[in-house]
Chains A and B, each alone.
Chain A
Amino acid sequence: DQQVKQNSPSLSVQEGRISILNCDYTNSMFDYFLWYKKYPAEGPTFLISISSIKDKNEDGRFTVFLNKSAKHLSLHIVPSQPGDSAVYFCAAPEGGSNYKLTFGKGTLLTVNP
């Protein structure tokens, strides 16, 4: 059973606009959530994280929001740039583990110039 779900396989936005990538989870025991970014032929690269005790974490153009009651998190990219075009994975370390990451299927973001 998939514990981390990304229901949108792809998203297309215009340069300069906001990109919103969504992620839902089923395991209420998750303590942290992470977003990874992946370019073709490369491995995933850590982007930003959020602890379950927070509802927002911001790093430059990237902000992650966490809604625990809805078991939902989202990654906002503002403003979006063509270089942001990549696959974005939502992930969480499995309960009691600080290393075994559970990933979603990923969302392909395309930012059009």
Chain B
Amino acid sequence: EAGVTQFPSHSVIEKGQTVTLRCDPISGHDNLYWYRRVMGKEIKFLLHFVKESKQDESGMPNNRFLAERTGGTYSTLKVQPAELEDSGVYFCASSQATGGWLTQYFGPGTRLLVL
């Protein structure tokens, strides 16, 4: 069974540019989560999808961040315009419909560097 995949693995952009991160969850997983780890700090929750619906986006830093999950399959996280403090590793995770935190499977992350 394929795990959670994320693309790209790395992204280097300049301040003010736009970047779109993609996450493909494990097939059949209704729950999809985005987390972020800024260098040297803890991993922080950003938001949670159940199928195509945003269940909780309380962790989104500001309105420069937009997450979508059209069709309830893959998800994208767009940062526009990017700022220096957006640099970090963005993790995506997924879990089954009846599974909660114990069954969150994480992807390898996208390393974003904003210059």
Give A residues with C-beta under 8 Å from B.
Answer: 2, 4, 32, 34, 41-46, 49, 89, 91, 93-94, 97-106
How distant is the Cα of A93 from the Cα of B95 in the complex, in angstroms?
14
Interchain CB contact under 8 A, A89 and B43: yes
How distant is the Cα of A32 from the Cα of B108 in the complex, in angstroms?
25
B102 contacts across to A, CB distance below 8 A = 34, 46, 49
A94 contacts across to B, CB distance below 8 A = 45
Interchain CB contact under 8 A, B42 and A104: yes
A32 contacts across to B, CB distance below 8 A = 101
Interchain CB contact under 8 A, B109 and A43: yes
How distant is the Cα of A89 from the Cα of B104 in the complex, in angstroms?
14
Give B residues with C-beta under 8 Å from A.
Answer: 4, 9, 31, 33, 35, 40-45, 48, 56, 58-59, 91, 93, 95, 100-109
Task: Report A88 CB to chain B, min CB distance, Å.
Answer: 12
Task: Report A31 CB to chain B, min CB distance, Å.
Answer: 10
B56 contacts across to A, CB distance below 8 A = 97, 99-100
Interchain CB contact under 8 A, A100 and B45: yes
B101, closest chain A residue (CB):
A93
Interchain CB contact under 8 A, B42 and A106: yes
Starting from the known contacts A100-B48, A102-B42, A102-B45, 12 additional A-B residue pairs (CB-CB under 8 Å) come to: A2-B42, A34-B101, A34-B102, A42-B108, A43-B105, A43-B106, A89-B43, A99-B101, A100-B58, A101-B35, A101-B101, A103-B35
Task: Report B88 CB to chain A, min CB distance, Å.
Answer: 13
How distant is the Cα of A97 from the Cα of B101 in the complex, in angstroms?
9
Task: Report A54 CB to chain B, min CB distance, Å.
Answer: 15
A34 contacts across to B, CB distance below 8 A = 101-102
A101 contacts across to B, CB distance below 8 A = 35, 43, 45, 101, 104
**Which of A41, A44, A104 has the largest count of B CB atoms less than 10 A from its CB?**
A44
Interchain CB contact under 8 A, A103 and B101: no
Interchain CB contact under 8 A, B33 and A99: yes
**Which of B44, B59, B101 has the largest count of A CB atoms less than 10 A from its CB?**
B101
